[in-house]
């Protein structure tokens, strides 16, 4: 497999096309002005991979040229790439297909340089909407230049929708108390990113928490009266608590108007007519200030009423509302109460994810996307095989039940410790299965990712990354819950963690790291930053496994072994933060720093047993 996603139809002919220094990339009459960008992408690829600096022109092609053209006889979204000894022609049914075809040609140049085998490729997507969802709220806010790098990657692999998950990390004009200790995205940055994405046929869709997962906003003194739970502003921050709270109090008549104002401030920044209101995991609903109303009318009625009101608000403005389906699938008949334009985002993250949720939402008649995951949240290294299997099976469900899109999610629970560069293979599994129903084997797609994404001529890097995953005996979820828990909960955690597995797990990590270092020899210099990141990640896994084994064994806090682990933790975290800074702003790292310092103090015996999350008090 040398192209990703795999094209639908491909045939080879005799001979090769070999461009020369006189070859020009020709934009045929009728191509949009924006097609110049695609030609520039192609030119840079020829320069980088073949050493040829081809000119770009507009008009009639000559023998030996590369032609980019629109062809009204081709269906929209379809392209046909013909490579022959006398030249190359890329014809497309519309401008987005032309952009997609250029990405295929660029991948061929990546693999073959300037000696391109003669062939014909005819290609089109299975799914009209092929999306990626990235968490920008739970600890990590990416830098704008990194977000543009992500957009370039999405374009390269034909992903045409993108959502950034926002709770409080946009600079809302009246919510300074919520974002004052963070580094939020600004209107200027969103506008610039939206423009950058649109040029690459990526629809940047706004996404905003407007019901559940409003912890930071509803924990402020300014907005605490809108929270379902009383005294929300008085509870100290803890990852394990924040992940389960807070929900908007729908019994307060001001709540609905409050989130409508947030939507109305945020939505105009985007070209997209879609808006994701989220409305997932409303854990507190009916348990606090709305308890009396919930007992009278039912929690289901409260939920559906709020979702319906927000969907109607967006439809009234000419928009298409979206929401997460984890609550609604339990009573899918209620979907009929929502505006017909509404799209349900139906997620499920198991490697053998069942079809029930997608089946039941399909039966309700509402439009839906299937939403798999990159499976990196709360992991130092994503569960790569899980992500592959999950995207594969969700692609099957999507086609079986006629979903109109796939949205591959990349979350960052508990401080977003998972580096976004490590979930790229998971992102690309989603790209492959959204475009083409053909199920490429795991090893084969990893080899393609190694070559196409990382320039690894050995084709082994992505496989080595997969080998690095699933060895976290004392994983981040357990680490956070342990340090924020009381003694009773800590005992439960160690009943879930088998410290006897640590030696074998750490040995497997070391073996995978050796494979990474071996692959590095065949990678280009501009891709080798992944090697340092993967080595830091290997240290992360080994260190936390060792911490778990230490705590599970016979030890005295502050002994020599504990002191040594504390020093390792501090030295490792310094290098981890260097990697963080390559992609992300300061964001919410102060919370992460405090937690790491607490861990180091605990290992030295200075604060053992004193850290306690609100939800875990004995």
Six-digit token string for 254:
């001001």
Torsion 61-66-69-75 (CA) sign: positive
pLDDT on residue 613 = 39
pLDDT on residue 468 = 98
Which helix (H) or strand (E) element contains residue 83? strand 79-84
pLDDT on residue 557 = 79
pLDDT on residue 615 = 36
pLDDT on residue 487 = 86
Neighbours of 105 (CB within 10 A): 24
pLDDT on residue 608 = 53
DSSP string, 329-376: GGSGGGGGGS-TT-EEEEE---TT--SHHHHHHHHHT-EEEEE-B---
Domain extent listing, the chain: 9-123, 129-440, 463-616
The reply to whether domains 9-123 and 129-440 share a CATH topology is no
3-class secondary-structure state, position 418: coil
Model's pTM, two decimal places? 0.96
pLDDT tens for each residue of 226-266: 999 999 988 888 898 888 788 999 999 999 999 999 999 99
E strands of 195-280, at which residues? 203-208, 274-276
The dotted CATH code for 129-440 is: 3.20.20.80
Rounded-to-integer distance, Cα 297 and Cα 295, Å? 6
User: In b/e form, how buried is each residue of 565-581, taking b as 16+ CB within 10 angstroms?
Assistant: bbebbeebbeebeebbe
pLDDT on residue 2 = 94
pLDDT mean for each 10 residues of the chain (618 residues):
96 98 97 97 97 97 97 97 98 98 98 97 98 97 98 98 98 96 97 98 98 95 95 89 88 97 98 97 95 96 97 98 95 94 98 97 96 97 98 98 98 96 98 96 98 97 98 96 90 88 98 98 96 98 96 86 97 98 96 96 76 36
Task: Tell me which DSSP letter residue 184 carries.
Answer: -
Residue 179: CA count within 13 A, CB half-sphere: 19
pLDDT on residue 618 = 27
pLDDT tens for each residue of 133-145: 999 999 999 999 9
3-class secondary-structure state, position 197: helix
Rounded-to-integer distance, Cα 249 and Cα 228, Å? 4
Q: Looking at the chain, how many residues does it have?
A: 618
3-class secondary-structure state, position 505: helix
Which helix (H) or strand (E) element contains residue 538? helix 529-552
Q: What is the distance, to the nearest Å, from the Cα of residue 339 to the centroid of all Cα atoms in its chain?
A: 28
Based on C-alpha coordinates, what's the Rg of the chain? Answer: 25
Locate all alpha helices (DSSP H) within 553-588, ordered by sequence: 560-583
pLDDT tens for each residue of 144-179: 999 999 999 999 999 999 999 999 999 999 999 999
Determine contact, residues 388/440, Cβ cutoff 8 Å. Answer: no
| Contacts with 234 (C-beta within 8 Å, 6 or more apart), sequence order | none
Neighbours of 367 (CB within 10 A): 18
Which helix (H) or strand (E) element contains residue 429? helix 424-435
pLDDT on residue 617 = 29
Determine contact, residues 119/5, Cβ cutoff 8 Å. Answer: no
pLDDT on residue 611 = 42
Determine contact, residues 488/617, Cβ cutoff 8 Å. Answer: no
Neighbours of 404 (CB within 10 A): 13
Q: Which CATH number fits domain 9-123: 3.40.50.300, 3.30.379.10, 3.90.1150.10, 3.20.20.70?
A: 3.30.379.10
E strands of 149-216, at which residues? 161-166, 203-208
pLDDT on residue 270 = 98
Task: Tell me which DSSP letter residue 90 carries.
Answer: E
3-class secondary-structure state, position 267: helix
Rounded-to-integer distance, Cα 296 and Cα 445, Å? 54
């Amino acid at each position: 497999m040398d192209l990703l996603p795999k094209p639908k139809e491909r045939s080879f002919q005799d001979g090769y096309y070999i461009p020369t220094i006189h070859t020009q990339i020709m934009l045929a009459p009728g191509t949009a002005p924006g097609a110049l960008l695609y030609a520039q992408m192609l030119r840079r690829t020829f320069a980088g991979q073949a050493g040829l600096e081809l000119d770009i022109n507009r008009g009639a092609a000559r023998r030996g040229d590369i032609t980019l053209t629109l062809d009204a006889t081709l269906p929209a979204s379809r392209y046909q790439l013909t490579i022959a000894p006398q030249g190359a022609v890329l014809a497309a049914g519309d401008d987005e297909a032309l952009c997609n075809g250029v990405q295929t040609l660029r991948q061929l140049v990546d693999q073959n340089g300037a000696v391109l085998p003669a062939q014909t490729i005819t290609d089109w997507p299975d799914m009209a909407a092929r999306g990626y969802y990235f968490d920008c709220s739970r600890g990590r806010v990416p830098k704008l230049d990194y977000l543009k790098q992500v957009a370039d990657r999405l374009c390269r692999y034909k992903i045409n929708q993108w959502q950034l998950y926002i709770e409080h990390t946009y600079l809302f004009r009246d919510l300074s108390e919520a974002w004052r200790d963070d580094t939020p995205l600004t209107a200027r940055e969103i506008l610039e990113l939206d423009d950058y994405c649109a040029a690459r046929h990526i629809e940047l869709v706004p996404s905003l928490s407007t019901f559940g997962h409003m912890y930071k906003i509803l924990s402020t003194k300014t907005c605490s009266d809108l929270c379902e739970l009383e005294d929300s502003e008085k509870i100290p921050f803890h990852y394990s608590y924040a992940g389960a709270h807070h929900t908007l109090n729908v019994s307060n008549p001001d709540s609905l108007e409050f989130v409508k104002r947030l939507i109305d401030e945020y939505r105009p920044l985007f070209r997209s007519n879609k808006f994701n209101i989220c409305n997932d995991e409303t854990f507190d609903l009916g348990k606090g200030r709305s308890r009396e109303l919930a007992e009278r009318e039912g929690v289901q009625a409260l939920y559906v009423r709020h979702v319906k009101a927000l969907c109607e608000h967006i439809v009234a403005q000419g928009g298409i509302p979206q929401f997460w389906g984890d609550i609604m699938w339990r009573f899918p008949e209620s979907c009929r109460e929502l505006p017909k334009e509404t799209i349900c985002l139906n997620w499920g993250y198991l490697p053998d994810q069942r079809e029930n949720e997608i089946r039941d939402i399909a039966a309700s008649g509402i439009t839906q996307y299937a939403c798999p995951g990159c499976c990196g949240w709360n992991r130092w290294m994503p569960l790569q095989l899980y992500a592959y299997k999950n995207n594969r099976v969700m692609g099957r469900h999507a086609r079986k039940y006629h979903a109109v899109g796939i949205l591959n999610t990349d979350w960052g629970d508990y401080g977003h410790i998972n580096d976004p560069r490590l979930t790229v293979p998971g992102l690309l599994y989603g790209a492959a299965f959204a475009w083409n129903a053909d199920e490429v084997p795991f090893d084969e797609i990893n080899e393609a990712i190694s070559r196409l994404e990382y320039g690894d001529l050995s084709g082994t890097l992505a496989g080595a990354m997969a080998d690095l995953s699933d060895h976290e005996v004392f994983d981040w979820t357990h680490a956070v819950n342990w340090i924020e828990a009381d003694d009773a909960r800590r005992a439960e955690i160690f009943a879930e963690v088998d410290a006897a597995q640590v030696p074998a797990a750490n040995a497997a990590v070391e073996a995978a790291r050796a494979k990474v270092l071996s692959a590095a020899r065949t990678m280009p210099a501009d891709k080798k930053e992944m090697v340092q990141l993967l080595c830091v990640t290997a240290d992360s896994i080994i260190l936390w496994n060792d911490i778990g084994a230490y705590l599970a064994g016979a030890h005295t806090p502050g002994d020599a072994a504990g002191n040594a682990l504390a020093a390792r933790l501090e030295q490792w975290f310094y290098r981890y933060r260097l990697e963080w800074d390559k992609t992300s702003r300061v964001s919410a790292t102060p919370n992460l720093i405090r937690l790491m310092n607490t861990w180091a103090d605990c290992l030295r015996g200075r604060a053992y047993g004193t850290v306690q999350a609100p939800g875990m008090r004995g």
